Structure 1
Amino acid sequence: MELGLNDFSGMPSMSDSTGYRKIVRTGNIGQVNSWILTKEMPEAIIPQEIMNFWCKVQSVDQAYSGSAFAQANRLIANRDLLIIPKEYMTRTDELVWEFVMSDSVASYTVQMATDTIFYPYYSQTLTFAKESKTGYVGVALQDLDFFASLIDDTEYFWRVKPNHVNPAKQTAFNSELNSFIFNPSLVPPANITISVSGQYVTLDWSGIKAVKAEPDFYNIYSSNNPYASFPSGWTLETSTTSTNYLVLSTAAKKFYCVTANNFAKKIDLRENAATK
C-alpha cells in the first residue's frame, strides 16, 4: 500500500509505479484490508483547504510478485474554521470566526442567504491585516456591502472560507452552517396585572413568543408620571427572566411599565402598563 496527500507520499511502497516488486518480501501491511489514519494535517495546510488524499493498493502472491496498483482518490477539506454563533443580530453585531495566522491566507469570503442551498446569495471578500489580529476576527453587518438588502425578522444562513494566496490551492466553505435572525421584533408583554397586599406590590404578566424571536429577559420601569418620556423619564427598577415582580409599596401613586428584551436588541414598547 502507498498513501499520499496532494503530491506527498506518506507511506512509500516497496514497488514501482507499475507494481514491480523492488524488494522480494510480503507487502508492507501484511494481510490488513483496512486502514485508519490518525495523524494530524501538516501545519502548512490551512483550515478548509481542499486536499487530494490518495491510496494505492496492490496484491502480492506467494512468490512475492505484485499486481498492478489499484488507486483511489478523494478530495477532502481540512477542518472548519471556528465560528462564534449568534442567535439574533442587529446592524452593529459582528460575524465572528477564527483568524488564521498564516502567510498562506490571502483573504476571507463571506456568503449569506435565506436558505441552506445558498441560491441566491450575497457574497463579499474581506482582507485583514495579520499584525493587528489575534484569535478571532469579525465584520459588523452594517459594514457589508449588501447590508441594505437585509430584511428585519428574517433568518439568514452564513458561511465563510479562507482564500489561499496560491490560486491553484482551492478552499471550501465551512461544512457546518450558521444562522441568525436579523433585527428580530419582540411582542410586548400582555395581560399585565397589579395587586397590593400589605407592604408589597406584585406585578404579573404574560410572556409572548414572537414568530421570529422570544424575550431573553424583561425590564420593569416605574414613574410617578405616566406621560413622562420613555425611557428617559422612567426609572429602571430591575431586569428579570421571570413573568412577575414583587416590590415594596410606597405612599405615592406609581406607574409601572414592562418591556420584553433579548440580548441582541432591546425593544422599548409600552403598549402594556400597570398603575398602582
Structure 2
Amino acid sequence: MDRPETEDEEIVIRITGLSTRFGPQVIHEGLDLAVRRGEVLGIVGGSGTGKSVLLREIIGLHKPASGRIEIFGRDTAELTPAERRRMQSRWGVLFQDGALFSSMTVEENVMTPLKEHTDLPRDLISEIARVKIAMAGLPPVAAGKLPSELSGGMRKRAGLARALALDPALLFLDEPTAGLDPIGAASFDELIAGLQRSLNLTVCMVTHDLDSLSAICDRIAVLVDRRIIVDTMENLMALDHPWIREYFHGPRGRAAARAADHAAAERKERN
C-alpha cells in the first residue's frame, strides 16, 4: 500500500527490514527506522550492537545482508554511480576520529569536498572553507595548521567544518564527543544544537554520551535484541527492558535525566 505523500515528505531516512551479518554472526535482523526531517536522532546501544555499522550502511560504506535503505525518498541500492555521487553531496559525515588527511592543512581538508563536487574557482573554495572553519568554532589561525598540530577537540571541529562544506541537509555524527572532557563535550553539544537550528539540519548521531542525548536529541534509537526501539528519552526510561533500564536508570542516566528536566524547565520559562 502506498504511504501518504505528506508522511514521506517528513522522512529523510527510511530503513525497512535491514539485516546485517558478519559470517555466522547476526548484528541486525529485520531492523526498521525512520528519521524525520529536522530532528536530532541519537543512536545508542551496548557493545557489539552495531551502532557505527548501521551508520556506515546508511552512507553506503557497508552493504547489509538484506533490507531497504531510502534517503531523500530514493532507494540507495538503485542509484547509479552519478546519482549516488549527487546524493552524497547532500550529506556530511563526522567520523569519530575526524578522519582528516594528515598531510593537508585544516583549510585544505575542508576544501576537498568542494573540489570534488563543485567547479567553483579555487579562491572561492578557499573563502568558503574559511567560513566553514569559523562556523565550526575554530579560530582563523587553525586554517593553516596540520591535524597533528591540533587538540582532539579542535580536530573534531575541523572534521565538522569539512562535513558542512557542501551545505548538507543531513549530518551524520559518529561519537562526536568521545574523548572530550565534560566542558569540551558540552561546548560541542551546544555547537551542534546551534548549527542544527540555524541551518535546519537533520542530524543522525551515534553516541554513548547520556549528556548529549539529554541536551540535544529529539528522539533516541536504542539498538537492542538485533532491532531498534525509537522514542523520546522520557518514554524510553519508562520501558521495562533490562539493558534500557540499566542504561537510563544508572547513576549517569539519572544525572542526565535531571539535566534534561532542568533544561526543559528553562525553555518553558523563556517561552
Normalising by the residue count of structure 2, what TM-score does the alignment of the two structures yield? 0.23
Normalising by the residue count of structure 1, what TM-score does the alignment of the two structures yield? 0.23
Higher RCO, 1 vs 2 (CA within 8 Å, ≥6 residues apart): 2
Structure (1 or 2) with the larger CA radius of gyration: 1
Question: When you count helix as a share of all residues, which structure comes out higher?
Answer: 2
Question: When you count strand as a share of all residues, which structure comes out higher?
Answer: 1
